[in-house]
Amino acid sequence: MSESGLSSPAAVSTPSRLSLFLDRAGLQGFPWVSAIVLYTISWGWILIVRGSLWAHDWDGFAIPEFAKFINEDYGFAPWTKYEIVLFQNAGSSIFHFVVFGSFFVSAIFLYGVLTEFPSLNSTVRNYLILFFLILPFNTSRVALMVFKYATAYLLFFVGWYLVVKIKSSASRFIGALVFFLSFQMHSLLFFFVLPIAHTLTKAKSKDLHGFIVWAKTHAFLLCAPLFYVLARYFYWPEHGQYHNLNISSVSNSFTFIFTSTLALMVVFVFANKTKGEVKKNLHLVVLGMLSAVVGVLPYVLYRYFEKTQMTFVVSYLTTFLGRSNWNSRHLILQPLGISLAIVGAVSAAIPGRLRAQKRVMNCLIGICLMFNLGFGFEFIVDNSKQREVIETMVQVGDNGNKDQLQFIDQTTLLNARGQKLYPNSWSGLVWRSYGIDSARRWQIETSCTDSVNARLVLIQGPETHWQALKNWVRDRDMGFKVTVDDTPGACKPEMVTAEKVSGAIPILFYFTGAKN
């Protein structure tokens, strides 16, 4: 038999089996190529800086007793402790691979959920998935501390898929269990209203009897958040006020709740006065607005948007696209709602003109890519600075006669997303340079103090991201220079520059040489 004869059956059967599986799973038509390419362009920089530490990663993972404090004092579920074991056995790089994969796989299960909406055609579903993947929300995903949220995010959409796509009592039970596990990200307790509303809508209950039947069928599902809240209260309670709600926080959020409800009602009433495709697409906008409001509501209630002392809209935009430190994680649940709103609004604004709709949405995708690449470059630059600090400190070596490190950073404008560096952030670099024992021994300062036991670490470099990019293109080096000096009094007060980063700076300014 010829070689072609041997290979022919496999070549014919393999695609058909795959096609059959995708069809049964409700994944036939998923935009694999465009999704993988656009997602990798948008977030692939996470893998470039893999193994890096950010924010509270240093003490949250490297120090076992502190990691235990974070899990227990903040009321995180006990199964989140596995991430510490994973870190200790596999290192930090694996975290970035898991996070990168979690958000993408979430989109696959979301696509399966969207196929349960018969009013959505394949073009609309595909664009929803693409926006869901690449909207420039939550650049904080690069930090290891967001690992538990990334895995919870994936579990949530897996649970949603199981409940609405696989029609069996076993799938409903497993889905409820998966939802229970996903509530390790507490804001998902609020977001849970969406899959519940979806299952109720699919049941098409027209009277009280129908509703009771639906409730009995989905009893485990409906009880999942209640079981989690009770288990947390009795078995892993929070010892602080990080996740707790009270009457004051709810009352202070009244303006947001009232305004959001009013806006939803106005758009809904307007949508009902239209007809045909426009009406259907405006209802998609309403659903998107509702999803976005539900996704951000817990963070409003927890007062994460109050610290800026600005209106909510300005605070939201600052967190979304501005220099918001690590606060972009508070918008982790926004992609679904904003994707629905964008696709619905574009389709309603240009009814019946599919080619024009695609052009507008492709343009918006291009804008998203621009922001994602810009944010990614910020983290690559910041990571380059961290590596330069570590390499220089390793070359100089630890000095057992010194016990104070004075970090003077004159390149704060280049901190990714305007992140603020605290003493524990610098301790992470000491740990990477000299080990855990040295990191605990050194006292960290970010200002000049007159001490004979002090070592100066002076960080200098380009003033703008544009200059860093030009340096890299020309010399394959960002241009950071780190000086380590053990001479007493080496740190001069004039070396300490004022904080340059403040407010919301449009990303385009990062590359034009503008400074603030």
Same domain as 438, residue 321: no
Same domain as 118, residue 237: yes
Whether 492 is in a domain gets the answer yes
Same domain as 438, residue 345: no
**Are 138 and 106 within 8 A, CB to CB?**
no
Q: Tell me what pLDDT residue 484 has.
A: 94
Q: Tell me what pLDDT residue 240 has.
A: 67
Same domain as 439, residue 308: no
Whether 358 is in a domain gets the answer no
- CB within 8 Å of 267: residues ≥ 6 apart: 282, 285, 286, 289
Same domain as 41, residue 18: no
**Are 407 and 457 within 8 A, CB to CB?**
yes
Print pLDDT tens along the chain (516 aa).
Answer: 444 444 444 444 456 788 888 888 888 899 999 999 999 999 999 999 998 888 888 888 877 767 666 666 777 888 888 888 888 888 888 999 999 999 999 999 999 999 999 889 999 999 999 999 999 999 999 999 899 999 999 999 999 999 999 888 899 999 999 999 999 999 999 999 999 999 999 888 778 888 898 999 999 999 999 999 999 989 888 876 666 666 767 777 888 889 999 999 999 999 999 988 899 999 999 999 999 999 999 999 887 876 544 588 888 988 898 888 889 999 999 999 999 999 999 999 998 888 999 999 999 999 999 999 999 999 999 999 999 999 999 999 998 788 899 999 999 888 998 888 878 889 889 999 998 888 888 899 988 888 888 999 999 999 888 899 999 999 999 999 999 999 988 998 888 876 655 444 556 566 655 555
Q: Tell me what pLDDT residue 26 has.
A: 82
Q: Tell me what pLDDT residue 436 has.
A: 87
Same domain as 412, residue 273: no
Domain that holds residue 65: 31-352
Nearest CA-CA partner of 271 in 292, 260, 286: 286
Side by side, the strands of the sheet bearing 481-485 are 443-445, 404-409, 454-460, 481-485
Distance CA 359, CA 356 (A): 5
Same domain as 182, residue 308: yes
Place of tokens 């898991």: 98
Q: Tell me what pLDDT residue 514 has.
A: 55
Same domain as 484, residue 341: no
Same domain as 177, residue 108: yes
Whether 368 is in a domain gets the answer no
Same domain as 2, residue 37: no
Distance CA 126, CA 347 (A): 14
Supply angle C-alpha 65, 330, 106, rounded to 5: 90
Nearest CA-CA partner of 155 in 114, 101, 106: 106
Distance CA 449, CA 500 (A): 22
Q: Tell me what pLDDT residue 10 has.
A: 46
Distance CA 480, CA 462 (A): 7
**Are 354 and 123 within 8 A, CB to CB?**
yes
Q: Tell me what pLDDT residue 241 has.
A: 66
Whether 516 is in a domain gets the answer no
Q: Computed from CA positions of residues 96, 176, 192, 279, in that sequence, does the dihedral angle turn out positive or negative? A: positive
Environment class of 45 (CB within 10 Å of its CB; exposed 0-12, middle 13-18, buried 19+): buried
Instruction: Give the chain's domain count.
Output: 3
Q: Tell me what pLDDT residue 509 has.
A: 61
Torsion of CA 359, 362, 367, 369, to 10 degrees: -160
Whether 502 is in a domain gets the answer yes
Amino acid at 159: G
Whether 307 is in a domain gets the answer yes
Whether 335 is in a domain gets the answer yes
Same domain as 433, residue 290: no
Which tokens in the block code for residue 237? 């309670």
Same domain as 319, residue 254: yes
Domain stop point among 336, 352, 368: 352
Q: Tell me what pLDDT residue 5 has.
A: 41
Q: Computed from CA positions of residues 226, 230, 233, 238, in that sequence, does the dihedral angle turn out positive or negative? A: negative
Distance CA 109, CA 106 (A): 5
Amino acid at 45: W
Domain stop point among 294, 329, 352: 352
Whether 17 is in a domain gets the answer yes
Residue 445 three-state SS: strand
Nearest CA-CA partner of 441 in 380, 398, 475: 398
